[in-house]
Chain A
Amino acid sequence: MRGDGTDAEDFEHPYLPTSSPNIVGEMLAALGLDSIEQLFVDVPTSIRLSRPLRIPRMRSEFELLRHIQGLLNMNRTTQSIKSFLGAGCWPHYVPAVIGEIIARGEFLTPYTPYQPEASQGLLQAFFEYQSMVCELTAMEYANCSLHDWGSALGEAARMAVRETRRRKILVPHFISPERRAVLQTYVEPIGCRVVEVGQSYSTGRVDIEDLKEKMDGDVAALYIENPSYLGFFDQAPEPLAEEAHRHGALFIVGVEPISLGLVKPPGEYGADIVVGEGQPLGLGLNFGGSLLGIIACRGESLLRQMPGRIVGVTTSKDGERALTLVLQAREQHIRRERATSNITTNEALNAVAAAIYLALLGPTGLRKLAETILIKTTYAAKLLGSIRGVEAPIFRAPHFKDFTVRFTKTSAQEVNRRLLAHGIQGGKPLRGEFPELGEAALYCVTEVHSKADIDELAQRLEEVLAHP
């Protein structure tokens, strides 16, 4: 095995079963050819690559593992550093069952179930995921994944624009700036504007007077996040839905899925479309690279506008229950330029992982987990707020996982620098995103933080702030 291009005929590799002169020879003979190069004669010589690709030499499996392990070991992960980061990607325990199931070749290696008869297992897993999303959100219809919360919001906004034929989306002031930026890239090309609605700096509630002023006949939808990007709940959002509907606009709510085990779901307070991030449902941190866009809606009209793959139950030729992809006329492979979206490959396996997670926890486990998180968040915010030089939480409302902290004597960056020296990763500094909040940061606490962890954070913070 030389891999240096000097003997093209004699190159063996574990992933190339036919790479031997004999086998290649047999196939060439069947084609009446002398060399494989004859199959490339129609490629103009002027553009042919006349040298080998300048990439590193081929490695054996053992060398590959050693090389990559060496690089990954350079990272200091949340196993060695106590991290209090959330803000769109949250630390949660991933039950062992999930990894075992999604590692199986039967889930990991098939393609999209375009041949339903040979993919019933996958289709059922997707159907169960859809069902669970609808149960969590109290909505009627869900698809089996979009890429992430941001793009789900973008798609939801486009649904609203198509449905209402209007050109404005209202978003709350404290919307995640990252999600707002993604929303912008999704709606700008269709001439739709994003307009901010004020939120109280003390309670986080949407300023209803400002909303009334901005709501008009050109608003396609009002979007809120509950809990907010900054972690606080709006416990009485019904008037917002009413205001939107009074003007013929849709009400879109962005959610945190675990919290829905405990709090009122948006389907019960007037949401037309729900979007959210499924990462907390058993997907792990993965450097922010394992995301899952949740989307659900009510009403047949919105169902037909919803992008992505949807699985439904039907019957088969011999009368048995069977599943298949439905309403494919919405999708790009049928409708092409008039499709509801271009989405093809999505985050299917992540949706299966989320379904397994929800099946393991069940309604009782999910509620218990949500309560645990609510208690820990409240405890952490209260404890940090008792430190001199710290205000926490900034907003007077119950918080879930994320909560805001304000430093009155030093910068959030500096605090983080000093905490890191003690093996602690502080929360996300917010000065760049919301300068009006002062030297604020977004801290996160979940079921993976013990009381001792939280107490240690408080103790270190106290030390850091006592010696600025």
Chain B
Amino acid sequence: MGHLVPEAGEEASEVPPVSQLLDPGFVRSRPPGLPRVSEVEVVRHYTRLGQQNLAVDLGFYPLGSCTMKYNPKINERIARHPGLTELHPLQDQSCVQGILRIMYELAEFLCEITGMDKFSLQPPAGASAEYVGVLIMRAYHRQRGELESRTEILIPDTAHGSNLASASMGGFTVKVVPTDREGCVDMEALSGLVSRRTAGLMLTNPNTLGIFERNILEISRVVHESGGLLYYDGANLNAILGHVRPGDMGFDMVHLNLHKTFSTPHGGGGPGAGPLGVKKELEAFLPVPTVEFDGSQYYLDYDRPLSIGRIRPFYGNVPVLLRAYAYILSMGAEGLRRVAQLSVLHSNYVMRKMLESGGFTLPHSPEKPRKHEFVVSASPLLQSHGVTAGHVAKRLLDHGIHAPTMYFPPIVPEALMVEPTETVSKEELDGFIQAVARVVEEARTSPERVREAPTQVASTKVDEVKASHPRTLCVTYRKYVELYAPHNAK
């Protein structure tokens, strides 16, 4: 056994036995096929599994669009404080003032950082916040009697897929806005697409090419004139902290990814947090409850009749919120400003060096600086040596570096999106640059070595086709035994 559970010895003598508390037909007849192992085996099993992963704590992780910055350890210590871990969400308000105050102050910090008027800390991720934003668009237009006619949401072709999925989940038709040759929203196309059917526009700035949308004020004017709302996907906020705020660019709604910009750990895919900030006119629509202060007490406000409702139980991923709060206090105003400056400097430095290797082109305004991330195309390597962006990415794994984001945004062929972040030494930046140069050189001299990568990590190249094929699809251990190890079947 792996863990001794407490028994109800004393109480058991005062109530009927379990066999009489439940109908025999409702008692589980076959035990679930869970592991039967000791605590020692569990610890060794998971510790070994841990050794098969690349992680931010192990090395450079330039995954574009994800802001894989260092996760401060003091934040982990703080998140283990029993003042949070032993607190039930429904306890009497008088007992939870400390955590409510932290949440209230965090919301205020986020308002100041983004130039918005009020934040909801509830959404557990960016995509969830986007969905709330879409619901707020519905509520706003419904209030104006225009929901029937406002059926479209405009989204650039460089957008993260979740933007489109969120709009679609909210019942809207997506109209894709093309990017011009300079790498920005095509203003002419935008004017043609904006109409009385526009509920809103969802935008990331800087965009996923790493380019700042310099026409943002004009974009804001065009959308607002048509009666639409402007939504900011805050995934790329790292580039502009302390320099420019979405609220000052004209955005009505903003979501932040605390697990990106605000250093909370990614955990292999969560938990994260995606707080949503809005301008005054939209405050009434925010999800319930919000955290308020009446001058002496902090409290949860459920009395919001125009709210779009609830998007989840309780109040948000509080341990993540706490870490972000700690991070903001660790950096201060100048620290955050410095974060933006250095993330942008690192990105341009690495980009310059990568282009010098000759294996990549920089589509869209090559003379323009990028911000915290950039997208190069490995097309030259493909054309001359049959080496794709995917091959380059996998070969970088062999150098102990997590690959950049591949094939995104879709408008760049053989795309590699690189985001160094600010939490990396120059030695590591140069190490990455050298690794890239070596892969490019290898692509020229022995491309087959690049194509058969990776060979130095936990697994060689995985057969993705077989993985999803109906005949070999295998997503449980039970199925695995059936397909691969029938001699193990019990």
Docked CA distance A206–B318 (Å): 36
Residue of A nearest to B90 (CB): A85
**In the complex where A53-B112, A58-B330 touch, is A78 in contact with B87 (Cβ < 8 A)?**
yes
Q: Say if the beta carbon of A291 comes within 8 Å of chain B.
A: yes
Binary A-proximity of B62-79 (CB < 8 A = 1, otherwise 0): 010010111110101110
Q: B477: which A residues are within 8 A, CB to CB?
A: 127-128, 131
Q: B342: which A residues are within 8 A, CB to CB?
A: 16, 18-19, 24, 36
Q: Say if the beta carbon of A366 comes within 8 Å of chain B.
A: yes
Q: A239: which B residues are within 8 A, CB to CB?
A: none
Chain A proximity of B325: nearest CB distance (Å): 8
Residue of B nearest to A126 (CB): B268
Q: Say if the beta carbon of A437 comes within 8 Å of chain B.
A: no
Q: Which of A72, A191, A342 has the most CB of B within 10 A?
A: A342
Q: B265: which A residues are within 8 A, CB to CB?
A: 108-109, 349
Q: Say if the beta carbon of B478 comes within 8 Å of chain A.
A: yes
Q: Which of B31, B249, B263 has the most CB of A within 10 A?
A: B31
**In the complex where A134-B478, A260-B28 touch, is A178 in contact with B310 (Cβ < 8 A)?**
yes
Q: Are B460 and A318 in contact (CB under 8 A)?
A: yes
Q: Are A17 and B97 in contact (CB under 8 A)?
A: no
**In the complex where A5-B334, A106-B57, A130-B476 touch, is A36 in contact with B102 (Cβ < 8 A)?**
no
Q: Say if the beta carbon of A285 comes within 8 Å of chain B.
A: yes
B113's partner among A53, A145, A346, A364 (CB-CB below 8 A) is A53
Docked CA distance A343–B274 (Å): 12
Chain A proximity of B94: nearest CB distance (Å): 8
Q: Say if the beta carbon of B149 comes within 8 Å of chain A.
A: no
Q: A61: which B residues are within 8 A, CB to CB?
A: 74, 330
Q: Are B56 and A105 in contact (CB under 8 A)?
A: yes
Docked CA distance A94–B395 (Å): 41
Chain A proximity of B382: nearest CB distance (Å): 20
**In the complex where A56-B332, A95-B3, A289-B314 touch, is A75 in contact with B95 (Cβ < 8 A)?**
yes
Q: Are A65 and B78 in contact (CB under 8 A)?
A: yes
A348's partner among B242, B248, B267, B452 (CB-CB below 8 A) is B267
**In the complex where A48-B244, A284-B85, A313-B474 touch, is A117 in contact with B95 (Cβ < 8 A)?**
no
Interface residues of B in 14-57 (CB under 8 A from A): 14-16, 18, 21-23, 25-29, 31-37, 39, 42-43, 45-57
A121's partner among B53, B315, B371 (CB-CB below 8 A) is B53
Q: B402: which A residues are within 8 A, CB to CB?
A: 110-111, 115, 118
Docked CA distance A461–B102 (Å): 34
Q: Are B168 and A338 in contact (CB under 8 A)?
A: yes
Q: Say if the beta carbon of B216 comes within 8 Å of chain A.
A: yes
Q: Say if the beta carbon of A157 comes within 8 Å of chain B.
A: no
Q: A41: which B residues are within 8 A, CB to CB?
A: 369
Residue of A nearest to B425 (CB): A17
Q: A333: which B residues are within 8 A, CB to CB?
A: 160-162, 408
**In the complex where A97-B39, A312-B474, A326-B475 touch, is A451 in contact with B11 (Cβ < 8 A)?**
yes
Docked CA distance A4–B408 (Å): 38
Residue of B nearest to A63 (CB): B329
Interface residues of A in 217-276 (CB under 8 A from B): 233, 235-236, 260-265
Residue of A nearest to B468 (CB): A326
Q: B85: which A residues are within 8 A, CB to CB?
A: 284-286
Q: Say if the beta carbon of B256 comes within 8 Å of chain A.
A: no
Q: A202: which B residues are within 8 A, CB to CB?
A: none
**In the complex where A42-B368, A64-B326, A336-B165 touch, is A365 in contact with B51 (Cβ < 8 A)?**
no
Docked CA distance A111–B77 (Å): 21
Q: Are B71 and A107 in contact (CB under 8 A)?
A: no
Binary B-proximity of A282-298 (CB < 8 A = 1, otherwise 0): 00111111110000000
- A-B pairs under 8 A by CB, number: 710
Interface-located stretch among B188-196, B343-351, B434-442: B343-351
Chain A proximity of B105: nearest CB distance (Å): 9
Chain B proximity of A99: nearest CB distance (Å): 7
A49's partner among B89, B248, B309, B339 (CB-CB below 8 A) is B248
Q: Say if the beta carbon of A203 comes within 8 Å of chain B.
A: no
**In the complex where A75-B99, A116-B462, A365-B5 touch, is A286 in contact with B171 (Cβ < 8 A)?**
no
Binary B-proximity of A59-77 (CB < 8 A = 1, otherwise 0): 1010011011101111111
**In the complex where A134-B478, A235-B25, A362-B1 touch, is A101 in contact with B43 (Cβ < 8 A)?**
yes
Q: Are B268 and A352 in contact (CB under 8 A)?
A: yes
Q: Are A122 and B326 in contact (CB under 8 A)?
A: no
Docked CA distance A60–B346 (Å): 25
Q: Are B57 and A105 in contact (CB under 8 A)?
A: yes
Q: Which of B71, B102, B403, B462 has the most CB of A within 10 A?
A: B462
Q: Are A119 and B52 in contact (CB under 8 A)?
A: yes
Chain B proximity of A379: nearest CB distance (Å): 4
Interface-located stretch among B128-136, B221-229, B276-284: B128-136
**In the complex where A322-B459, A398-B21 touch, is A110 in contact with B8 (Cβ < 8 A)?**
no
Q: B316: which A residues are within 8 A, CB to CB?
A: 289
**In the complex where A287-B87, A288-B314, A420-B92 touch, is A52 in contact with B37 (Cβ < 8 A)?**
no
Chain B proximity of A160: nearest CB distance (Å): 15
Q: Are A148 and B50 in contact (CB under 8 A)?
A: no
**In the complex where A15-B330, A451-B10 touch, is A425 in contact with B91 (Cβ < 8 A)?**
yes
Q: B33: which A residues are within 8 A, CB to CB?
A: 131, 135, 363
Q: Say if the beta carbon of B411 comes within 8 Å of chain A.
A: no
Q: B326: which A residues are within 8 A, CB to CB?
A: 64, 68
**In the complex where A315-B466, A367-B31, A382-B15 touch, is A54 in contact with B112 (Cβ < 8 A)?**
yes
Chain B proximity of A358: nearest CB distance (Å): 5
Q: Are A117 and B394 in contact (CB under 8 A)?
A: yes
**In the complex where A55-B333, A58-B335 touch, is A337 in contact with B84 (Cβ < 8 A)?**
no
Q: Say if the beta carbon of B337 comes within 8 Å of chain A.
A: yes
A349's partner among B28, B244, B271, B346 (CB-CB below 8 A) is B271
Q: B11: which A residues are within 8 A, CB to CB?
A: 375-376, 378-379, 451, 454
A344's partner among B125, B245, B335, B352 (CB-CB below 8 A) is B125
A23's partner among B50, B274, B328, B426 (CB-CB below 8 A) is B426
Q: A358: which B residues are within 8 A, CB to CB?
A: 34-35
**In the complex where A16-B338, A53-B112, A425-B92 touch, is A107 in contact with B125 (Cβ < 8 A)?**
no
Q: B270: which A residues are within 8 A, CB to CB?
A: 145, 345-350
Q: Are B95 and A81 in contact (CB under 8 A)?
A: yes
Q: Are A313 and B480 in contact (CB under 8 A)?
A: yes
Chain A proximity of B187: nearest CB distance (Å): 15
**In the complex where A81-B91, A314-B463 touch, is A117 in contact with B339 (Cβ < 8 A)?**
no
Q: Are A36 and B467 in contact (CB under 8 A)?
A: no
Docked CA distance A39–B342 (Å): 11
Q: Say if the beta carbon of B489 comes within 8 Å of chain A.
A: no
Q: Are A235 and B14 in contact (CB under 8 A)?
A: no
20 A-B contacts (beta carbon < 8 Å): A3-B334, A4-B334, A27-B349, A36-B344, A39-B348, A64-B78, A106-B53, A115-B393, A132-B32, A181-B309, A189-B134, A264-B28, A287-B96, A289-B321, A321-B484, A336-B165, A337-B164, A369-B5, A378-B11, A420-B94
Question: Given known contacts A334-B161, A362-B37, what 15 new A-B pairs fall within 8 Å (CB)?
Answer: A15-B422, A16-B335, A30-B349, A71-B99, A75-B83, A75-B96, A75-B97, A111-B66, A117-B457, A141-B476, A285-B87, A289-B89, A324-B462, A349-B271, A369-B5
The 5 A-B pairs at the shortest CB distance, nearest first, are namely A58-B332, A72-B83, A105-B57, A289-B318, A288-B89
